[in-house]
Amino acid sequence: MSRRNAAVETVRTVARSSLKHDIQYPAAALAYYGFVSLLPLLVLLLVVVGRPMVEPVRSATFRFLTPEAQGLVSDALANSTGKAGATAFAAAVLAWSAANVTAGFETMVDRVEDAAAESAPRRLRDAAGVLASFGLSVGSVVAASTLFVLLPNTALAAAGLGFLFVALSVVLLPLYYVPTSELPSPAAALPGAVTAALGWTVLLAGVRFYVSNAATYAIFGVLSVVLLVLTSLYLAAVVLMVGFVVNATLSGETAPTNAA
């Protein structure tokens, strides 16, 4: 079989396995937890960095938001009413979301690899690795977004996307290696990390293009903001889940599934 045919067959296998393992459901849950964490993250950001940093954060964020979303973010960053209570609530929501996100990733690994239950210390270690990798990934996206604002030139923006792809490929590696018990080395987790990094980079570029033409395409006001954010988070989550399937497929450890 030629390399081209082998690559096509691998893509087909990954697609079939993704459908059979119903990755859309854990992806939808991950998107939900990401969505409900957005405002708490803004609140904690305001508390941590203080008002002097609000304007730079706003400028970096606005490049990827529709006009309606810009208004919502401005109000959230500027409003200091009930600051102590809002901070406590934001921390609680983030902790709850983080716990569910790590549980979702571990469930996805168990589903794809049909792995045996692990000990509590091992699951805690896995959770810490998942959260660290996920946090660094989000940080890479924020850093790339800031570069787009500071360096609006088209060529420099393309370089920023290249930086994002490389950075995500590195920081996502623990996400795909730590929770699994089947991959022999971090190198074996690289295909999944590269797949997710490529997907996130393309998604960010697509969102940036949409927002730059928001006046043309956005017709539902605030509702379009919710749809854009939810859809983007869902697609990003699907890409993350596909990365697990890619690694399991290439390593031959995909769990068998029963046809409906």
Least confident of 11-20, 49-58, 93-102, 247-256: 49-58
Number of domains, the chain: 1
Give the structural domain span for 82.
Answer: 23-251
How far apart, in whole angstroms, are the C-alpha atoms of residue 39 and residue 204? Answer: 20
Evaluate whether residue 136 is within a structural domain: yes
Q: Residue 240: how many CB atoms within 10 A of its CB?
A: 26
82: left (phi over 0), alpha (psi -120 to 50) or beta: left
> Does residue 213 register a pLDDT over 50?
yes
Span 163-202, pLDDT tens digits: 889 989 999 898 888 878 777 888 888 999 999 999 999 9
pLDDT tens string 98-137: 888 887 777 777 777 766 666 667 778 778 888 888 888 8
Domain-embedded: residue 256: no
The verdict on residue 257 lying in a domain is no
pTM score over 0.85: no
Give the list of residues 6+ apart from residue 44 with CB closer than 8 angstroms, or none.
Answer: 87, 90, 91, 94
pLDDT at residue 31, rounded to an integer: 86
Residue 7 lies in a domain: no
Q: Is pLDDT at 56 greater than 60 in this prediction?
A: no
Q: 87 near 40, Cβ under 8 Å?
A: no
